[in-house]
Structures are given as C-alpha cells and as structure tokens.
Amino acid sequence: MEYQEIIHTIENKRRFGSLPGVVVSRKLLAAVGNPQNDLAFIHIAGTNGKGSTAAFLREILKEAGIRAGMFTSPHLIDFTERIQVDGRQIPEEDAARLGEMLLNLDLEVHPTMFDYCLAMALLYFREQGCRLVILETGLGGRLDSTNVISAPLVSVITKIGYDHTEVLGDTLDQIAAEKAGILKPNTFMVSESQQQPAEKVLKDCCSKLGISYQFVEAEKIKAVDHGFSYEGKGSYRMRMLGMHQRENAMVAVFAAEALRIYGFEITDAQISQGIENATWNGRMELISKEPYLLIDGAHNGHGVHALAESLKELYPNEKFRFIMGVLADKDYKQMVKEILPLAESVTTVTPDSGRALQGETLAEYIRSYGVFAENTEQMQEAFLQIRDKTVAFGSLYFIGEIRKLFHLA
C-alpha cells in the first residue's frame, strides 16, 4: 500500500476501543518486541499546555545535543507531525513501512488510531537511537495507551482543568487522579501550579509512591520584555505569545533540570536558548500582522480563559473580531462566556469534523447575549475581509484548516 492509503486506513480506525488503551497498547507493543522497554521517557499529562511544553523540551534537548523523539497529538495538517526526532517529522516512507507492518499483525485486540500511532512512534524512536522520548498522553493518564511505559525519568503535569469529563470525571480531584495515573515509583514529578483540589491529589500520590516533586510557583513569574523572569532563576526570552506559555516554559525548565539527576548534561545556557527557540504551530500564532490575524487551538473553557487573559495583557482595553469553530462535545458555552467581554463581533463556522457543532447553533447562542454573531457556510468567507484585530480559535481541527487555507503547511 502507498503512504496515503496506509495513513487513511489508520486514521479511520475507531477513536475509542472497548478495552482501556493501556491494555490494547500493551498487547500491540508485545507483538512488535516491546520497543518502549529500550527507551527512556519524559511523560507529559494535563488538560492544556502539553504540546507547548513538549516543544520547549524538544528545543532544550536539541540545544544540549541529546537525540530525542517526540510524540504528540493531534496533528494540524500532516500525520507525520505526530512523530518527530530532533524536530524533524518522520519521513512518509518510514511511516508507510511501519504502518503497513502494524496493520498486518494478527491481533486478538482491536487497536484504535491512537494505539497504532503510538506503536509506530516507539518503533521509529528505537530505530533512530533516541536517548530520550518526550511522550504526550492522548486522554487522561491512568488508562491512556501511553501509560504502557514502565517508569519515565520525569513525569510532567501541565494545567489540569475540565475537559473529557464524560471519561475522566466531572470534578478536579477526579480528573487530577486520572492524570496522576502516569506517576510511578523511581520517577520525578514536575507540575505547573494547580488549583488546590488537583494539587493535593498530585502531592498525595507522590507521597504514596515515595517520589520527589516540584511545582512551578506562578506568583514567581513576572513578565519582562520579550519573555519572563522567575524568582531565583533569572530571565528567559521567549517567542511564544501568551501568559500561559510562561508557565509551560517554566515546567520545561524544571523538567530539564531534573534530567541532570540521571546523568544528562544540560547547561543553564542550553535551557535558556531552548526556551527562546521554541515555537508551536496553532498556539497563539500570529499568522498575519496586516491585517491582524491570530490563531489559537484553545478548545475548552480553561484554554479559552488563558487566551482571553493573554489578549487582555497584550492589548489592554481593545475589542476583537472572533472567528469560532468548535466540536459539539466541548463546553462551548463556557468558551463563549470567556470571550464575550472582548468581543466586538463573532463569526462562526462549522469545522470539517463529524463531531463539529453547527456554526448556526453556536451563532444563535452568542446572539442570546446581545453580541453580534453571524454564521458563514464556507470557512474561507470568514477570512475574506479582515479589518479589525481578528482571533480565530475553538478547535485544533479548525486551526489546522486555517493553516491549510493560508498555505502554512
């Protein structure tokens, strides 16, 4: 089979299986020689900020000359974005070769798309001789397919908030317990600052396992020109926009420092340069200055709150035209409430996904608050006449479509 056919077959596998992901991935990986047992990991879980944190770590490790794989999801445009070594995406021929081999296995379980992607990544990272792998969970942690690994060197927990509540639970302590499922003995946990119920769950879990941990203290972060400072650490330059990215960057700093425990030689200068070099497509990404268009993958209440706070810091007292496309299984009502105080107007679209919320349904809800909202049937129409400061957000699928539209693949 050709690359496109193989990837199409994998992408059309079910999103959720009848068995927990970790059970299925354990059987799938056993069938191909358990590549995870030959690799060392930084395991990342959390509701928001996982991809950006992974990108900061990727650049730090690159600066330090440490060959590292990175597995993230979802992709914005190309499937190969999910699997990278030293920042370079897996070649299509390697993805096709590994994908075909995996699809031809005779298994007693039925892997999901994510299971196949994970197995492909781990096989590729072993082939490439990666010293470290930055591994992002798909959903939750405890039962996630990525939790097949035995003991990561460092476990990273990014911001915990409300998302996938139908699977993870509808309270912060329930969700935090699922995320904490990636913690294991003989690891080191680094976490962003958390709301108290989540922080207590994480600390209790660390105590039970007898592992050391470090939390980023948000009050120690201060904005400075072109970056931020952290009390007791000095300052860091940063390309990524957004208040929340400072904490993502800081958790990457602490994770990189923790790697020194295991003999990895990473200098403070390499950490600083990695933070400055890092970019992450579709997250507070300014794709046009004239006219002004910023895109962001915020797709839940917590993420949209972070977007709104960042816009208020960057442009005090200004209003924006928002372009919004969301999935029906997300808390779009909370997302709308977060941006209403900043909205001059809202244009809604229907993302190209079977899970999409109809744009007109979204527009009607926004109008109920007295804000001007219009739905457009064709996504490109929403971008034809950009005059005011325009911000597009709501779904990573939607952001991927925008990047395609602007030829940013």
pLDDT in tens, 197-250: 999 999 999 999 999 999 999 999 999 989 999 999 999 999 999 989 999 999
Q: What is the pLDDT of residue 164?
A: 65
- At 245, list the tokens: 């990215």
What are the mean pLDDT values of the chain's consecutive 10-residue runs (409 residues total)? 94 81 96 98 96 98 99 94 98 98 95 97 99 95 95 96 72 93 97 95 97 97 94 95 94 99 98 97 91 93 93 94 94 96 96 91 97 92 86 93 86
Distance CA 307, CA 340 (A): 12
Q: What is the pTM of this model?
A: 0.92
Residues of each domain in the chain carrying CATH 3.40.1190.10: 3-277
Q: What is the pLDDT of residue 175?
A: 93
CA Rg value for the chain: 21
Q: What are the backbone angles phi and psi of residue 20, rounded to the nearest 5°? A: -55, 145
What letter represents residue 379's amino acid? Answer: M
My answer on whether omega of the bond before 291 falls inside 30° of 0, hence cis, is yes
Distance CA 356, CA 157 (A): 28
Residue 255, exposed/middle/buried by CB under 10 A (0-12, 13-18, 19+)?
Answer: buried
What superfamily would CATH give domain 3-277? Answer: Mur-like, catalytic domain (3.40.1190.10)
CA distance between the termini of the chain:
24
Residue 371, exposed/middle/buried by CB under 10 A (0-12, 13-18, 19+)?
Answer: middle
For 224-230, which contacts have Cβ atoms below 8 Å and span 24 or more sequence positions?
227/275, 227/276
What does the pLDDT look like over 71-127, one tens digit per residue? 999 999 899 999 999 999 999 999 999 999 999 999 999 999 999 999 999 999 999
Cβ-contact 362, 42 below 8 angstroms: no
Cβ-contact 50, 137 below 8 angstroms: yes
CATH of domain 285-405: 3.90.190.20
Q: What is the pLDDT of residue 161?
A: 86
